Amino acid sequence: MLANFAEVVERGSRDEALLAQVDWTRLPRHVAVIMDGNGRWAARRGQPRIAGHRAGVEAVRASVDTGARLGLGALTLYAFSTENWKRPRLEVDALMRMLKRYLRLELEEINRQDIRFQPIGRTDALQESVRRELQRAIERTERNTGMVLSVALNYGGRAEIVDAARAAVRALVAEGSAPDGITEEDIGRNLYTCGLPELDLLVRTSGELRISNFMLWQAAYSEIYVTETLWPDFRRADLLEAIVDYQRRDRRFGGLQLVANAK
Ligand code: IPE
Ligand code: IPE
Ligand code: MG
C-alpha cells in the first residue's frame, strides 16, 4: 500500500515518517472534514477572506489525493453550510465560482484516481451553473469504484435529518404502516450519506470546538480530531497525523470492550 505514495512522498520527509506509523489494517472507513479557518488565514496576511478560500483549494487537493492513495472508503468535505448563505453575497459568489473551477480543473485527475464524486446537501437550491458542473462530475465518475469524494454543499445536519424523516414517513404512508414503525435504519437509509461507510473520523481545522451543523446523525460515535492548523495550511501530513491519532483511540461504542475499527 505504501507503494501508492512512492511517487509523491520524499525520502526522509515528515510525510514518510507519518506513513510509517499508519496501521493499514485499521484505517478509518470514512473521514469527514470541517474545512475551517480560511478567513483567519487571509486576515493574518492582511488579505481579503476570498484569498483564504482560494488558498484552501490546495488543501482540498492534498486531502483528496491522500485519501485516495490511502484507499479510504469515503472522504466528506464540508464546503458550504445551510447557514453560510448569511455571508456577504460577494463571498458566497466567490465560493461557488471556486467550486466550479475546482471541478473543471480536477475532474480528470479525480477520475484517474478512480474516485467517485458525490455532492451531498440541498444542492437543488444552488445556482444552475453550479448544478451543471456537479452533474458533469457525478456522471463522469459514476462507474468508479475507489474512494467516494462527497462534498457537502448547502448542507445542514438538521436539514438532512428532516429530509430523511420526510422520506421515511412518505414510504411508511405509502405502505399504510403506523408512524411507530420508523426505525433508525429507516432514517439512516434516507440520509444523504446512505451507502457510504460509517463515519469513523471527524476532523475540524482552525481549533474551533463545535460541529456547526455537520453530520449530526453520522457523528454519533465518530472520533473527533481538532487541529489548530488553518484549512489553507492543511496538507498530507496533517491528514496522516489525524489518522495516526485516531488509531490510538479506544473505541467502545457504549460497551466495555474495545471494538476494532477494522476496515
Ligand atoms: C471555512 O473558512 C470555509 C467556509 C465556511 C466556506 P471560513 O470562511 O469559515 O474561515 P474563518 O472561520 O472565518 O476563518
Ligand atoms: C463550518 O464553518 C462550515 C464549513 C466549513 C463549510 P463555519 O465557519 O461556517 O462555522 P462557524 O460559523 O464557525 O460555526
Ligand atoms: Mg469559519
Q: Which three cell numbers stand for residue 230?
A: 488553518
CATH topology of domain 27-155+201-247: Undecaprenyl pyrophosphate synthetase (3.40.1180)
Q: Which residues pair with 152 in a beta bridge?
A: 78, 120
- pLDDT of 15 over the 60 cut: yes
pLDDT of residue 259: 87
Q: Whole-angstrom Cα distance, residue 55 to residue 38?
A: 8
pLDDT of residue 2: 78
φ, ψ at 48 (rounded to 5°): -65, 155
The proportion of the chain whose per-residue pLDDT surpasses 70, expressed as a percent, equals: 98
Q: How far is CA 229 from the centre of its chain?
A: 17
CA of 173 to the centre of ligand 1 (A): 41
Q: Which three cell numbers stand for residue 68?
A: 485516495
CA of 121 to the centre of ligand 3 (A): 18
- pLDDT of 73 over the 50 cut: yes
Give the residue, out of 36, 80, 87, with the most ligand 2 atoms within 8 A of its beta carbon, to mutate for a pocket test.
36
131: burial class by Cβ within 10 Å (0-12, 13-18, 19+)?
Answer: middle
